[in-house]
Amino acid sequence: MSATAANDERRVGKLLVSTALVVISAGYCYWQKTREVPRAIVHIAATPGPVPAKAVTASGVAANVAAPAGKVATATAVPPAGAPATPDVALPVARAALADKVPVPKEAAAAVPDADESPAATAVTMAAGLHLEDGEYVSQHEDFEWGTVQVKVVIKNGAFADIQFLQMPDHRPHSAELSDLSKPILSREAIHDQKSAVDLVTSATYTSMAYQDAMADVIMQATRP
Amino acid sequence: MKMSVTLLRRILTYRLTLYYLAVLVAGSIALAWYGIVRPTPRDIAYSAVVAIATCIAVNAVFARVFGAKSNWESVCISALILTLIVTPAAPVDFAATGFLVFASAWAMASKYILATAKRHIFNPAAFGVALAGLLLKGSVSWWVGDNATILPLIILGGVLVLTRLRYYELIISFAVVVLGLTLADNPLAGAGTAVSMTAIHSAFCFFAFVMLTEPRTVPLGRWRQIVYGGLVGLLFFPNSHIGEYYFTPEVALLIGNIFAFLSNRRRLQRWTTAWGIKSRLLPTKAG
């Protein structure tokens, strides 16, 4: 075989293998898009169970855990009607439930009220002399490197009853992913423990800090002597 | 001291980097075993196996078809980098596994398809994850940077590699720009925290020591390296954006790679010749 023919053959080979990779990749992308289940709504059960106080820390090690053994807070995913349960749905749920997969010391479990109690009922009393006025409060914009955090907090009977995230970092896909991961953990912790200084969520450290500031702002707005 | 530096310089750069990354992956698995690092050891090990197997297979096909000599260390380095930056996939998580396979395959393919004069233009791992992030549902977490417990290993190995490569100006210009912008962007009271968070709790060190210093994509010449480091640092800074688009670390590196390619006249000349482009801006040796 002449050198030219060999070169031509190699050129065709290069073209074929590159085209094959492009076609396979395009097919896979198309399949991913068409089988895509709309993002599952991860929400906290109506009566949030106790949250491990430091379930997710910067080091990933649980400490000062406070949840009754066998009765952990649950996050449930509600796929849209007709959507099959797929790993796509299971993944965020598994992540949201990360906080629950921690060992629970017996003494901590004994100190925690029953998981079926409502948030208000399980509310930890605010610091002496500090009372929160019932109502809905919107925090300031807490800007940081990865975006902005802003929350709307509903206070009932002087306790945090509901927290909505008006703004969370979502400029980058990874920021949106981390926001989705941290939202249920942060709101659950604030509602159950009735505190603004929630523990930092691994991978979402900055977001957790901005959330702490937003919650502190809400407390300042709602505080009455 | 002198003897150890001499010994270090006798080790091939790629082999040293491979050992470095292998220690990082093994260290992550060990720390994950004790619950100190968040991903499970099973997921990290599974991701490493998937990435290495995919990279080796795709590289073998492309090397054969393109008639190129393949360096197995380079292939394993790309695979281990992907293991350390793509969120570890659980064996039952087909979407995450698909993301990793996609990124690994394109990382290897880019070394052959997007190359001039047998030299790739883009950092393979960065290209793979950028393309996967663009086309697939998912993103790159750079999880190795989230775990400060691995940082001593990253710095120790990084210093060894840097001693071997001697890209000091590159690293310094990158660090000065990123940390300087972080300082400037934060109020004075919180500046210290912001800088320490960037240096300790982000992919900053891993990116600088492992990704930025890839010898095949670093421009030649001291000043070009300084500009390259500064440019990538500018785009790596979290608040850098054009309109609604915010740069990710991998895209920052790819843009830096384009700069490195364009700043090398000889490579550019070969590329224009190969594509039959005649440029008056690029004088030939004779001209």
Chain A residues whose CB is inside 8 A of the B249 CB are none
Give φ, ψ of A108 to 5 degrees: -70, -40
* Gap between the Cα atoms of B176 and B233, Å rounded: 8
Task: Identify the CA nearest to A101 among candidates B28, B40, B83, B86.
Answer: B40
Q: Would you call B105 and A25 a contact, using CB atoms and an 8 Å cutoff?
A: yes
- A21-25, A121-125, B205-209: which range is least confident on average? A121-125
Task: Check whether A101 has a pLDDT greater than 60.
Answer: no
What pLDDT shows up at residue B42? Answer: 93
What pLDDT shows up at residue B234? Answer: 94
Q: Would you call A87 and B62 a contact, using CB atoms and an 8 Å cutoff?
A: no
* Gap between the Cα atoms of B276 and B166, Å rounded: 36
Task: Check whether B200 has a pLDDT greater than 60.
Answer: yes
Chain A residues whose CB is inside 8 A of the B203 CB are none
Q: Report, as an integer, the average pLDDT of A26-50.
A: 58
Nearest-Cα residue of chain B relative to residue A178: B141
What pLDDT shows up at residue A51? Answer: 35
CB-closest option in B92, B102, B194 to A28: B102
Separation in Å, CA A23 to CA A15, A19, B58, B94, B141: 12, 6, 15, 20, 27
Q: Report, as an integer, the average pLDDT of B171-195.
A: 86
CB-closest option in B36, B105, B201 to A21: B105
Nearest-Cα residue of chain A relative to residue B239: A145
* Gap between the Cα atoms of B198 and B43, Å rounded: 26
Task: Check whether B285 has a pLDDT greater than 90.
Answer: no
What pLDDT shows up at residue B23? Answer: 95
What pLDDT shows up at residue A78? Answer: 36
Task: Check whether B104 has a pLDDT greater than 50.
Answer: yes
Q: Report, as an integer, the average pLDDT of B58-83.
A: 90
- A104-127: per-residue pLDDT in tens? 333 333 333 333 333 333 333 345
Q: Would you call A87 and B106 a contact, using CB atoms and an 8 Å cutoff?
A: no
DSSP assignment of B65-118 equals HHT----HHHHHHHHHHHHHHSPPPPTT-HHHHHHHHHHHHHHHHHHHHSEETT
pLDDT band at A224 (very low <50, low <70, confident <90, very high): low
Q: Would you call B109 and A202 a contact, using CB atoms and an 8 Å cutoff?
A: no
- Angle, in degrees to the nearest 10, between helices B41-66 and A3-34: 150
What percent of chain B has a predicted confidence (pLDDT) above 70?
91
Nearest-Cα residue of chain B relative to residue A88: B95
Q: Does B73 touch chain A (CB under 8 A)?
A: no
What pLDDT shows up at residue A203? Answer: 67
Q: Would you call B36 and A59 a contact, using CB atoms and an 8 Å cutoff?
A: yes
Both tokens of B52, joined, read 């290495």
Task: Check whether A76 has a pLDDT greater than 60.
Answer: no
Rg of chain B in Å (alpha carbons):
19
Higher-confidence residue of B268 and B120: namely B120
* Gap between the Cα atoms of A58 and A38, Å rounded: 31
Task: Check whether B146 has a pLDDT greater than 60.
Answer: yes
Chain B residues whose CB is inside 8 A of the A173 CB are 133, 138-139
DSSP assignment of A164-199 equals EEEE---SSHHHHHHHHHHHHHHHHHHHHHT-S-PP
Nearest-Cα distance to chain B for A212, in Å, is: 15
Task: Check whether B280 has a pLDDT greater than 60.
Answer: no
- A76-90, A124-138, B18-32, B137-151: which range is least confident on average? A76-90
* Gap between the Cα atoms of A169 and A148, Å rounded: 6
Q: Does B35 touch chain A (CB under 8 A)?
A: yes
Q: Would you call A145 and B238 a contact, using CB atoms and an 8 Å cutoff?
A: yes
What pLDDT shows up at residue B10? Answer: 66
Question: Helices (H) and strands (E) in chain A — how many of each?
Answer: 5, 8
CB-closest option in B105, B139, B197 to A173: B139
Residues whose CB is less than 8 angstroms from the CB of residue A60 and which lie 6 or more positions away in sequence, other chains included: A202, B35, B36, B37, B38, B147
* Gap between the Cα atoms of B127 and B139, Å rounded: 13
CB-closest option in B92, B109, B137 to A21: B109
B/e letters for B20-36, b = 16+ CB within 10 Å, e = fewer, are bbeebbebbbebbeeee
Higher-confidence residue of A174 and B181: namely B181
What pLDDT shows up at residue B86? Answer: 92
Both tokens of A187, joined, read 């709101």
Q: Would you call B238 and A205 a contact, using CB atoms and an 8 Å cutoff?
A: no
Separation in Å, CA B177 to CA B181, B184, B186, B201, B228: 6, 10, 14, 18, 11
The chain-wide mean pLDDT, for chain A, equals 62
Chain B residues whose CB is inside 8 A of the A146 CB are 238
Q: Would you call B36 and A61 a contact, using CB atoms and an 8 Å cutoff?
A: yes
What percent of chain B has a predicted confidence (pLDDT) above 90?
47
Range B146-150 contact pairs with CB under 8 angstroms and sequence separation of 24 or more: B146/A202, B146/A203, B146/B38, B146/B201, B146/B202, B147/A60, B147/B28, B147/B31, B147/B36, B147/B37, B147/B38, B148/A58, B148/A59, B148/B200, B148/B201, B149/A59, B149/B31, B149/B36, B149/B37, B150/B24, B150/B27, B150/B28, B150/B31, B150/B37
Q: What is the 3-state secondary structure (H, E, C) of A118-154?
A: CCCCCCCCCCCCCEECCEEEECCCEEECCEEEEEEEE
Task: Check whether A70 has a pLDDT greater than 80.
Answer: no
Task: Check whether B212 has a pLDDT greater than 50.
Answer: yes
Q: Does B30 touch chain A (CB under 8 A)?
A: no
Give φ, ψ of B218 to 5 degrees: -85, 135
Most confident of A129-138, B130-139, B236-245, B246-255: B246-255
ipTM for the complex shown? 0.74
Single pTM value for the model: 0.66
Q: Would you call A21 and B106 a contact, using CB atoms and an 8 Å cutoff?
A: yes
